[in-house]
A = this chain, B = another copy of it.
């Protein structure tokens, strides 16, 4: 189904029949990025994954940058926010929009850096991806300018958060023991406030949970927006 009426190995067009297209190229590229990381996505490896000459790709996409931008578009087009439950508060709608956005980025962690930094490619789709955020904030009664600023701070937070999350592998990022040790090795009095917090939390307390970290960030943001109304 992925490549038309193809009876060969699934998902991989038999060389000769399944004509190359932007769509199949980007699908193959995304597969490489997801499996082996962004640095593995070279034009030559992409071509060989497609069973094709490296130069063939250039008939459908002008260069490597266009392939990567194309991937950003593909991923963003997958973003779907469930229509908000009718009775939901704007606070909950805003949080749902943020969670949906995070969910999409998490599906392709190896692409996160590209997504978050390829502003050109993003802004093409952002007018659609951003709608749920505007939808939620429209109900606050805030002036348009404040709505834009509120969306920005939420999106910036998500981007920053995703960078941290994407560069880690496990669900929980265990910097407890490591951080505690580093803090203790510090010249005395160099970072007293951090030291006090670290000692109070102890080893286990510093274990970072991405899910709860994300939620607590959302809480701060929502309350901050509320306070500005």
Contacts and interface: CB of A to CB of B under 8 A. Distances in A.
A183 to B, nearest CB: 6
A164 interface: yes
A149 B216 contact: yes
Interface in A189-222: 190-194, 196-197, 200-201, 205-206, 213, 216-217, 219-222
A1 interface: no
Question: How many copies of this chain does one complex carry?
Answer: 2
A62 interface: no
Nearest to A131: B191
Nearest to A183: B127
A148 interface: yes
A191 B134 contact: yes
Interface size class of A (residues with CB under 8 A): 35 or more
A152 B224 contact: no
Interface in A128-187: 128, 130-131, 134-135, 137-138, 144-150, 152-153, 155-161, 163-164, 167-168, 175, 179, 182-183, 186
Given A127-B183, A145-B205, A227-B226, A153 B220 contact: yes
Nearest to A191: B131
Contact of A158 (B145, B160, B200, B219): B160
Contacts of A152: 213, 217
A119 interface: yes
Nearest to A194: B134
